[in-house]
Amino acid sequence: MDSDSIGDKGRGFKSGFVGIIGAPNVGKSTLLNAILGEKVAITTPKPQTTRTQIRGILTGENFQIVFVDTPGIHLPRKLLNKKLVETAEKAVEDVDVLLFLVDVTNRNKKEEFAIIELIKRLKKPVILVLNKIDKVAKENILPIIDEMSKMYPFEAVIPISAKYVDGIDRLIEEILKLLPEGPQYYDAKTITDQSKETLIEEIIREKIFLLAQQEIPYSTAVKVEEIEEDDNMIRIRAVIYVERPSQKGIIIGKGGKFIKKVGTYARLDLEHLWGKKVFIDLWVKVLKDWSKDEKQLRRLGLST
C-alpha cells in the first residue's frame, strides 16, 4: 500500500475492516462483487473456490470499508483444506466487524455451529447476513432468523440477494453503525489490493472451475510466471499445475481445445477489467500431489 494513499479525513469519516465469513459456497465472493460493483473475487457454483484472503475496498464520501473475503469455513480432511480454514480464521482476527453469511436455501448445521464457535472466540461485532432470499418464501426466513438469533447475539440480521444486489444498501448502513472514525487507508479509486498476478491466477482458476468436471478443478493451481505490459497490451505467461499426468491431458483437452477455452474466457474478463488487449500463454505441468505437500503449498502461495 502506498503511503500517499493514506489520509486523515478528520472527524466524521468512518473506516475499518470487515471480514466476510461463512461455509463454502454461500455466496461470499458474489456478495463482495455486488458491494463493489466490480469483479474482484472469483465466483463459481462449486464450493471452496476461494483459496486466499481477498480484499475489496468500498469508498464513499465519508467512509471507507475494507472487506476481507475468505475461504469457506468447513470441517476439513485434506491438508489443503486445513490450510484454507487456517487462512480464513487468520484473515478475520484483526477486523472491526464480521459478516456471517448463510445460504438460506442450503444450510449445514455442523458448519454453522463451527462458525458460531469461531465468532465467540473472536469477540467481534457480528452481522448475520441471510443470502439467496430470492429463492425462498418470506415466511420461511423468519424461523431461520429466530433459530440463529438464539445461537448468538447478532448486532443485526440482514436478508439479501447478492446475485440481484438486493439488501446491499441496508447492509452497508448497518456496517457503518459499527465502524469507528478513522483514516482513509486506500486511494478512493482503489477497489482491491490484490496484485495483478493474483487477480490473473484467480480468474484463470475460476474458468477451470466453471469448465471442468468433478474433482479436476480442486487438483489445479495457477501461477503467473511473467507479465509484460505496454500502452496497448498485457502479455501473460502462466502455468496450470495439476497433480497427475491424466489430469494434464484433461486440462489440455483434445487438440488443445480445453486450455484454449480457459485462456479465451480469462482473457475476455481481464480485457474488460483493464480496458486493453490481453494475450495469455498457458502451460500445464504436473506437480505430484501438490495439495498434500506443505512445501508445494507454500511455493504456490497457499500456505505460510
CA 185, 190, 196, 200 torsion: positive or negative? positive
Distance of alpha carbon 214 from alpha carbon 30, whole angstroms: 22
Contact 50, 219 (CB under 8 A): no
- What's the average model confidence in pLDDT over 158-184? 95
Q: Which residue has the higher pLDDT, 135 or 293?
A: 135
Express each pLDDT in 24-41 by its tens digit.
888 888 999 899 988 777
* pLDDT tier, 52 (very low <50, low <70, confident <90, very high otherwise): low
Least confident segment among 74-83, 159-168, 251-260? 74-83
Contact 25, 103 (CB under 8 A): yes
**What distance, in Å, lies between the first and last C-alpha atoms of the chain?**
20
DSSP structure string for 132-192: -GGGS-GGGHHHHHHHHHTTS--SEEEE-BTTTTBSHHHHHHHHHHHPPB--B-S-TT--B
Going by pLDDT thresholds of 50, 70 and 90, the confidence category of residue 290 is: confident
Among 3-7, 14-18, 105-109, 297-301, top mean pLDDT goes to: 14-18
Instruction: Say what the pLDDT of residue 214 is.
Output: 65
CATH for 3-178 (3.40.50.2300, 3.40.50.300, 3.30.1490.20, 3.40.50.720): 3.40.50.300
pLDDT (mean) for 79-83: 54
How many other C-beta atoms lie within 10 A of the C-beta of residue 60?
12
Same fold for the pair 3-178 and 196-299: no
**pLDDT class for 51, splitting at 50, 70, 90?**
very low
- pLDDT surpasses 50 at 58: yes
Beta pairing class for 54-60 and 126-131: unpaired
Is the distance from CB of 131 to CB of 103 less than 8 angstroms? yes
| More confident of the two residues 5 and 130 | 130
Categorize the per-residue pLDDT at 212 as very low, low, confident or very high, splitting at 50, 70 and 90.
Answer: confident
Out of 2-11, 110-119, 238-247, the most confident range is 238-247
Domain coordinates of the chain in residue numbers? 3-178, 196-299
Alpha-carbon distances of 232 from 21, 198, 267, rounded to whole Å? 39, 21, 14
- In this prediction, residue 278 carries a pLDDT of 96
Pick the CATH number of 196-299 from 1.10.3470.10, 3.30.300.20, 3.40.190.10, 3.30.70.420: 3.30.300.20
Average pLDDT, the chain: 85
Please check whether residue 133 is in contact with residue 141, taking contact to mean a CB–CB distance below 8 angstroms.
yes
